[in-house]
Amino acid sequence: MVMKKNVMKKLFAIISLAMFFSCAGFSQPSTWFKISVKTDNTGISNSTSFAIPIAMGTYNYDVDWNNDGTFDDIGVATGITHDYGVAGTYTINIRGTFPRIYFNNGGDKLKLMSIEQWGSISWTSMEHAFDGCANMVYNASDAPDLSGVTVLADIFRRCDNFNTDLSSWDVSTIVDMQYAFADCPIFNGNITTWDVSSVTDFECMFLYATVFNQDISSWVTSSATDMQYMFCDAEKFNQPIGGWDVSNVTNMEYMFCDAYDFNQNISAWNTANVTTMYRMFQYASSFNQNIGNWNTGSVYTFYGMFDNASAFNQDISNWDFSSVLNNNSLRRMLDYCGMDINNYDKFIIALEAQKAGFPDDEMELGARGLNYCIAEPEWIALDTYGSGSGWTIHDDGKNCSTLPIDLTHFGVEYFNNYVFINWTTASEENNDYFTIEKSKDMNTWEIVDIIPGAGNSNTTIEYNCCDYKPYIGDSYYRLKQTDYNGEFSYSEVRHVNNVVNNSISAYYSSIKSGIVLSNYSEIINPAIKLIDSNGRLIWQDYLDPNENTTIIPIDNNITHGIYLLFVEGDNMSCTKKIYL
């Protein structure tokens, strides 16, 4: 009987021990780094395997490949690949010394499905950590230990499905955040309280983060030196960052390029150390703030600064151009911006006053779409300046005419695939007719409609017409008023955006290995061209009008940069900017 009791005790102990180990997976430590992977997604390993990517450094880590609490590989010092034998989705645990994970837009980047837990890993760098992990979602409820990290560059770049609240992260040690959320098309996570006081490099941080619009106005940016491309193509960003300390920033190239919604008061920024404002507000179509008191004494190039910033109409005649580098530094600076005759007159007068300080007697100024009037003497002085051919000024020439009518209102509005134009006169004198004209670029104009005038009138008259075939994207409208004697004059230009036709989508997908173009079914006989920044044709083809999505193959060896994608048809056309 005693023997039976002893046997039963031993059996119970064995069963209890077995149950302890079998249940280990249900009480796994919160100290492990945990991710999930799908082995049959595209990658460098076969369809039943996954490769853990590492960077340079000292590693000594253990791996539990199937989340059962048993670590299958111990003391690993290099990258490692595991073959499960069967394709599927698996959860991996890592513990020990594992200072960096490094996908760097390669390896098995598309097999990573989620970050489940950060654990207590002491990270040393996050540079390119999850770059290119387009399928990855973020399920972790804890935050990584970044106390030993200074570089966050490219951490989530090209993570198409990444969007989460990161407010609990301590980034106080980070110096470099360039490209951190670049090409993250759905990211709009909470980072409002981040301590970025040590960050010097914000280059391209939100490049192509098209929906990001968090209030980061309280960020302390006093250490920042580089903000180039920071909000370029962050189309929805429009937060009050006028209180930022940018006194140490030297580079603002492309900072708000294509930031279509941005229009905040940044007049108080200290720009004394900025050396380049190259294309800073190019195509920032909403921006129109008074920045006339900015200190531009260190800026060597203003190339394309307000190019197609169609709303911008401010007096910048107080700017200092004494550091301009060469005759290219003012090219395209004001092309097709919204500056009226009054402000452009002031600008020309200011340039003439500073002409002796420019490095070349044959400077080139881009101001296409703009007219001068009272600045004609200064314009001529620049045009004939020096012993050579003088300045080359690309504008629309002199225009001192005023409408022989009292125009109290002129507006354009896009609605239900049409553009409605309306205007009101309080009085008219010898007014024969109005011509409504439209343009894609404020250079070439075409007639929309001709409306008879009232001749002579002292009463309020309302006019309207409709453009039934508006351009795709940005369009510009103006009134041409013609007298009975044939003399004519123009109104100010109005801007409108065809938001329905702008639904045409174009973006680079690492999963598809090409540019995904969609929503072009409204275009009749569509054709497409891809042009690089030097104007070279990279690719062209006709699109199937019966399809609504196509993929443009891109060579992996293509030079990185900004490309223009032209979609043209019989009834409309549009241009999209793509960063490859």
Provide the domain limits for residue 554: 504-579
Q: Could you tell me if 212 and 282 lie in one domain? A: no
For the chain, what's the residue count? 580
pLDDT at 391 over 80: yes
Per-residue pLDDT tens over the stretch 401-457: 666 788 888 989 877 678 889 999 999 888 999 999 998 877 678 999 999 999 988
- The answer to whether 248 and 223 have CB atoms below 8 angstroms apart is yes
> What is residue 27's predicted lDDT score, i.e. its pLDDT?
58
DSSP at 294: -
Query: Confidence class of residue 24 from pLDDT cuts 50, 70 and 90?
Result: very low
The pLDDT of 375-403, averaged and rounded, is 87
How does DSSP classify residue 560?
P
Q: The domain that contains 513 carries what CATH number?
A: 2.60.40.3080
pLDDT of 574 strictly over 80 = no
Q: Please, which pLDDT band fits residue 512 given cuts at 50, 70 and 90?
A: low
Residues 276, 392 share a domain: yes
Residue 139 lies in a domain: no
**Rg value, the chain, Cα:** 30
- Residue 566's pLDDT is what? 78
Do 244 and 267 contact (CB within 8 A), yes or no? no
pLDDT at 487 over 90: no
Q: How far apart are CA 578 and CA 580, in angstroms?
A: 6
Q: Are residues 366 and 318 in the same domain?
A: yes
Q: What share of the chain is helix, strand, coil (3-state, %, to 5)?
A: 10, 30, 60
Domain shared by 386 and 494, yes or no: no
DSSP per residue, 389-406: S--EEES--B-----SEE
Residue 13 pLDDT exceeds 90: no
pLDDT tens per residue, range 70-95: 999 999 999 999 999 999 999 999 99
Q: What is the CA 276 to chain-centroid distance, rounded?
A: 19
Say which range, 47-56, 112-121, 561-570, has the weakest mean pLDDT: 561-570
Question: In which region does residue 387 sit, left (phi positive, over 0), alpha (psi from -120 to 50) or beta (all else)?
Answer: alpha
pTM summary value: 0.71
Percent of the chain surpassing pLDDT 90: 66
Final residue before a domain boundary, out of 358, 376, 397: 397
The CA–CA distances, whole Å, from 495 to 284, 311, 534 equal 13, 8, 28
Q: Produce one character per residue of 174-186: b if its CB has 16 or more CB atoms within 10 Å, e if not.
A: bebbbbbbbbbbe
Helices (H), 1-158: 2-22
Number of domains in the chain: 4
Q: Residue 431: what residue type?
A: N
Among 309, 302, 267, 306, CA closest to 285: 309
Domain C-terminal end among 334, 364, 397:
397
Flag whether 93 is in a domain.
Answer: no
Give the residue among 47, 105, 45 at the shortest CA–CA distance from 79: 45
pLDDT of residue 491: 84
Residue 71's closest CA among 79, 82, 62, 80? 62
C-alpha distances in angstroms, 183 versus 109, 285, 442, 535?
15, 21, 31, 24
352 found inside a domain: yes
Closest CA to 579 of 196, 117, 158: 158
Q: Would you call 552 helix, strand, or coil by DSSP?
A: strand
Whether residue 41 is contained in a domain is answered as no
What is the pLDDT of the chain when averaged over all its residues?
89
Same domain, residue pair 213 and 248: yes
Same domain as 373, residue 275: yes
Residue 218 Cα to chain centre, angstroms: 21
pLDDT, tens digit (0-9, with 9 covering 90-100), for 209-225: 999 999 999 999 999 99
Last residue of one domain, picked from the residues 262, 288, 309:
262
* Whole-number Å distance between alpha carbons of 182 and 403: 48
Cα separation, 565 vs 557, whole angstroms: 18
In the chain, the percentage of residues whose pLDDT exceeds 70 is 92
Q: What is the mean pLDDT of residues 451-478?
A: 89
Q: For 330-488, where are the alpha helices, taking DSSP H only?
A: 341-353, 376-383
Q: Does one domain contain both 334 and 290?
A: yes
Do the beta carbons of residue 136 and residue 161 sit within 8 Å? yes
Residue 96: inside a domain, yes or no? no
